[in-house]
Structure 1
């Protein structure tokens, strides 16, 4: 029997469609070739719980969420979740299907918490539902007080900044900048001074050491000559007492009177009074003395040049 080409293509297409459906179901977590069982749970609300979210026990996946639908019961909108069980496991009655968070990104799963009942659930039974506080809700609940405090802090900071902006006007900011600049220059100057002082100490260290040595020697000598110094001070004390007891005051008074009389005498001389005053003030005596000296000088010259004019000496008598 000859098989047509179209029949072969049809068979290939059917197998391809079947493989695609099986692969899609496999990727969703269901296996078309194994026996399936379904359980249900009703929740007042769900967050980030999607079809194909895992159903697990102690972190081990035994199934997944098949469908999620909205139902009404007693006038309330509830969420009906249908679970596909892919593992052969006995689930006790009154077991709890608890919605839990799997990661910080908001992933959710359903965790089965077994009860202590001896009877087991059958296909199509309903689980007790429970929702765990999501990480987002817990975080928001913990963050709410901090958020309120942070908002109050921001408000306080805004108020403070407003006051600061009013107080620190342009002129004040310039003054503060100048003050900081002055402080910076002062610190730099102190730093330079410290460097120079270090250099000076390093350079003059021998001299300073010598000065300290000399001071130590002087102190030692003072300690050794303490008795002598005491005696000298005692002698000075005795001398001062002696001077105090002496007639030094009267002597000073007499000297003062003598100086006054000398001052009066010099005043009279300057005024030309008395013989000394006339000699000091009248230049006629000086001129006469100067003229007499000149005449005497001329006489002595003439005497030397013409001695015979003044002295006559002869052994035989004077010649007329």
Structure 2
């Protein structure tokens, strides 16, 4: 009876000791106590910590390297964070701590990175410069979360809607009709100019041929006059005066023919000038409509406000899209647990 009782007491005592040891080990595990000295601490301060809470992960170069051990209010409205890091992980040179949402479900994390890798945001860099302290405390700041990015996207979409509304006001049905009429007039002018050039090209070919004929005739007449002048002296002595008179009559008739051809050439040039004058008048009318501020084309050419606003918006959209493509984790970092 005595032996059985001693055995039962020993079993009860062993069970109590085992349960106590398990409870202590579980408590230490839940509190993530550093029993083996495998962690080191990094202190950071910031004006605000956003949604960061105790136990949130600390990430270095995308790898979890520790946890947030404590958060406390310090002097001069600073918030002091104590980060427990694995001793085997190297801390970046000139470190800073960026606090940001880790997913769309409200989890936050603290990212330790070099100051050189901080996003080129003027407000963020100013906050880090303000939080810079001694060598034992690093600077910290809060990155914009999903709500702030959504608000920025909402403002951008509102600006796009305003621009679209202005474009719709500028290009109404009447503006479209005026634009089509201007295009039709310009096409008609182009056709008229093409036909005029074609006709005048043919006329110039004819005129060139006539001029060449006239020059040949004049050259022939000059040659004959030269021959005539050389023979004048000997004509009277040899009885060739009648021949000289006949040659003079022939030369006179050819000069009359050349003068008539020159008059025809002048008339054709006058008609060509009239056609060109009409074409230039039509072009001047179209350019005057385009230069005025009453029509759609005139507004597009003379009012730079719409172009400047659209160009500024496009540059901002391109900058935002380029930054999202280069640093997607800066804006959205989704992690499923």
TM-score range, shorter chain: 0.3 to 0.5
Q: Which has the larger radius of gyration?
A: 1
Tell which has more relative contact order, 1 or 2 (C-alpha 8 A, sep 6+).
2
Question: Between Structure 1 and Structure 2, which shows a larger proportion of helix residues?
Answer: 2
> Could you state the TM-score of these two structures normalised by the residue count of structure 2?
0.35
> Could you state the TM-score of these two structures normalised by the residue count of structure 1?
0.37
